[in-house]
Structure 1
Amino acid sequence: MQDYGRTSSDCRRFAIARDTKISRTTIRAIYYEEAENVKLSILIKICDCLNCSLSELIEYTPYA
């Protein structure tokens, strides 16, 4: 498995997109918190790639 923590954020996003077969546009939208309605299957692929839990990847903030 590739180490995603030691390169620039652009390189990490490209590598994650390549390894998960998720589009770079989607990865970018998630990274910059611009994505809406992201499928759970995509989040699971990213978690598997990064070897992390879903709660480490996202944070729930209720509407005010």
Structure 2
Amino acid sequence: GQSHGEMIRLHYIDRTESWRDGHVTYLLIKHVCSLPTLPPVEDENMSIPCEFCEAEVPLNIYILHMVKY
């Protein structure tokens, strides 16, 4: 079964690419505003919290995350 966090993540991350380099995994994440609890957003300057780094990120922007395992 999916955790609540995974379900939420599927809602507002439109596309995720990842690749490994040694022990570091890079995640390229496009944040989109598609949470069912949020109204449609036309302002592209609006920001939402990033689930991975807790930063406020602009919508429709690809963010590169480095995750070390």
Decide which structure has greater strand share: 2
Choose between structure 1 and 2 for higher RCO, CA contacts under 8 A separated by at least 6 residues. 2
Decide which structure has greater helix share: 1
